[in-house]
Amino acid sequence: MLLNRKVKSIGVDKWLFLKKFFRNPRDIGSIVPSSSSLTQKMLEPVMWDEISTIVELGAGTGVFTEAIHASKHSDCKVAVFEKDDEMRNRLQGLYSEFDFCKNAVELKKSLSDLGINKADVIISGLPFANFSQSDRSQIISQIKEILHEDGVFVTFQYSLQMKKMLQEEFAHMRIHLVPWNMPSAFVYVCRLKTTLVKNN
């Protein structure tokens, strides 16, 4: 019974994502939700026992949100950003203990309103390639301000368009290809400091 509900939920997510993509492909960025392989690679750098605050940008149907909910410890504070009202309201109903915000361009102010000054981890599903240069710069600049000096920023894109910008903005950046995603995705793992880098 639980498995059937899970399969049904996945189907609903895919149809919702498809509907949103055709209505606004610029903001959604993909025709299907992220795969389990991509989710695993995105959350691989997170030291769950050591973090107290995690921020997710561009949650969509909540593939990463669900994994964050399953992995975090009880005292970890979670803030989720999703611009689309329908998808954000749906996630808020599923994860009522999380804080939800709308616009990642207002990242710093929104987190400040929640009493969050620094984040240990920032996970992003934002389609930066579809954004204006101004919006990209504003969001990345705020990410650097919000991110704890020992923290990690992880994002994925479907191209290497963001490579140069992220290399210039972060002291350390590593890229991982996830071929078992549709389409194949590049995961960028970015840090403000190089001294803490181990395997990710």
> CA distances (Å), 155 to each of 9, 43, 57, 174, in order?
25, 10, 9, 11
Residue 197: per-residue pLDDT: 54
2 Rama class: left (phi>0) / alpha (psi -120 to 50) / beta? alpha
Residue 23: per-residue pLDDT: 55
3-class SS of residue 121: strand
> CA distances (Å), 94 to each of 47, 58, 87, 97, 185, in order?
24, 16, 11, 9, 27
Taking the whole predicted model, whether its pTM rises above 0.95 is answered as no
Q: Are 69 and 103 in contact (CB under 8 A)?
A: no
Q: Are 130 and 110 in contact (CB under 8 A)?
A: no
Q: Which two tokens stand for residue 44?
A: 């691989």
- Complete domains list, the chain, with CATH: 37-191 (3.40.50.150)
Distance CA 200, CA 189 (A): 7
Q: Which two tokens stand for residue 103?
A: 């616009």
Kindly give, in sequence order, each residue whose CB lies less than 8 Å from that of residue 182, ignoring residues fewer than 6 positions away.
32, 35
Distance CA 71, CA 110 (A): 24
Residue 61: per-residue pLDDT: 87
Query: In 3D, which of 149, 67, 66, 77 has the Cα closest to residue 115?
Result: 77
Pairing of strands 147-157, 185-191: antiparallel
10-residue mean pLDDT series, the chain (200 residues): 34 46 47 73 96 96 94 97 94 96 97 98 94 96 97 96 96 94 90 69
